[in-house]
Amino acid sequence: MEAKMNLEERLRELCCIGDEINVKALVQRGVNINAANAMNGWTPLHWAAKRGHLSIVKYLIQEGVDSAALTHKGETAAKLSSDGGIKKLLGEGDGTESSQASESLPIVPNYLRNPEFFYAEKDNSRNEDSRFRQQGITISNTWNHESSTDANASGNSNCCAENSEKEIVIKLRVADSEEEDFIEVDLDKSSLTFQFLVSVCCQELGIEAKNVKKIRKLPNTIVRNDKDVKRLVPFQELEVVMEENAS
């Protein structure tokens, strides 16, 4: 049940940041496209509409999404969107007013709280406010630098202790690329599957799953399945080996 909920939350996150490739991958795996967040009632369609991702909205409609689904505040996806094309697609004319509901959500997801650092430039047409970093489950649009040094030190210490129990840090890079440095990525320990690892690698490194030949645990071990992923240790170095014809 927890794994199912994690995948549903992941789908909402991908719809929020506009990652169409991985949205399709999760939907094709059978993740519920109408799954709503328990706290606010937002579905993948609500996030895609709110963030202006027209192609994802079209895809979700094609897959039979419930376009009339309501948030806990009684809002449809069309009402949340400020994009005239999306509103029209969802049957609400060409209105331009947008709901500000996301500013007062009862919870704030991680993929909005922590802006994503993109290892490689992806779609230049993406809105800057759609670039968020994947972590686990929790959004504020600003980072508070005004608290005292002592308060920060105490808070960061407690946060690190909690995160070490829930997450594992791994180091990623593309094998045989011009960029030899690794990037560090946090993985949710409750979602340590091979498919999830591939998805994270693709998102963080700006590559497509179809171009991934294998994942190598340095110095010389191939990661093949869920058991291999669960054996990863903190700060394990991984290389993604690409197909020879990958651009």
Report pLDDT digits (tens) over 7-17: 898 999 899 88
Mean pLDDT along residues 85-103: 65
Mean pLDDT along residues 18-29: 91
Note the pLDDT of residue 125: 36
Which one-letter DSSP state was computed for residue 243? P
* pLDDT bucket at 148, cuts 50 / 70 / 90: very low
Whether the per-residue pLDDT at 95 is higher than 90: the answer is no
User: For residues 236 and 171, is the Cβ–Cβ distance under 8 A?
Assistant: yes
Note the pLDDT of residue 239: 95
Mean pLDDT along residues 114-121: 40
Name the token pair of 111: 């993929």
Residues in the chain: 247
Q: Tell me the pTM.
A: 0.44
CA distances from 125 to 1, 79, 88, 230 (A): 36, 23, 21, 36
Q: Say how far apart CA 144 and CA 123 lie, in whole Å.
A: 29
Instruction: State the distance between the two ends of the chain, measured CA to CA, in whole angstroms.
Output: 38
Whether the per-residue pLDDT at 195 is higher than 50: the answer is yes
User: For residues 69 and 36, is the Cβ–Cβ distance under 8 A?
Assistant: yes
pLDDT tens digit sequence for 43-92: 999 999 999 999 999 999 999 999 999 999 999 999 999 899 999 999 87
Query: Of 127-141, 158-172, 202-216, where does mean pLDDT reach its minimum?
Result: 127-141
Mean pLDDT along residues 97-115: 48
Name the token pair of 42: 């937002």
Note the pLDDT of residue 167: 87
Note the pLDDT of residue 87: 92
- Alpha-helical (H) ranges within 18-148 are 20-28, 44-50, 54-62, 77-80, 84-89, 110-113
Question: What are the structural domains, with CATH classification, of the chain?
Answer: 1-90 (1.25.40.20), 167-242 (3.10.20.90)
**Contact partners, residue 151, CB within 8 Å, separation at least 6:** none
